[in-house]
Amino acid sequence: MRRSLWFLSLIAGLAGCASPPVPGCPAGLESTTVATLYFGRNDGERLRVSDADWIRFLDEDITPRFPDGFTVTDSLGQWRDNPGAPIIREPGKVLTIVLPQPPGDAPGRLSAVVDAYKRRFNQQSVLRVFGTACVAF
């Protein structure tokens, strides 16, 4: 499954970067790119990334790269390696960032966050999803 997540993140990343503007955003809203990253917290069947580890990662790796803001939510994901295999449930964190337009170096900063997480916590993948949305602040 981790290979599948890697493949999905690659496809989503490539497709999302080229997503067209949202037609007909309501008045007062503008079209922009939203990046969503899914971080698993387990290593095998045990929790690998504690709450303290996650906060440290936010402080050291995410906030310096995206100081203008983001949202983090808790998640519970599930997957299995192949049909018929047992379902594996894993706690996670979901990071949502509304990217500036044009996005400039934001995709590279997101890649740096993903690389840092995988390296620091010995994770095989981080799912990345890019989409277009109508937003206003």
Higher pLDDT, 135 or 44: 135
Q: Is the peptide bond before 100 cis (omega within 30 degrees of 0)?
A: no
pLDDT, one tens digit per residue, over 21-77 is: 556 899 999 999 999 999 999 987 789 999 999 999 999 999 999 999 999 999 999
Read off the DSSP letter of residue 100. P
Q: Write out the two tokens for 59.
A: 């402080």
Q: Which of 89, 87, 85 is nearest to 77 (CA)?
A: 89
User: How far apart are alpha carbons 121 and 79 in whole angstroms?
Assistant: 20
What's the full length of the chain, in residues?
137
Note the helical H segments in 18-77. 51-57
pTM of the full predicted structure?
0.80
Dihedral sign for Cα atoms in the order 74, 75, 81, 84: positive
Which residue intervals of 39-95 are DSSP H helices? 51-57
Strand partners, 34: 98, 131
Of 63, 68, 54, 60, the C-alpha closest to 103 is: 68
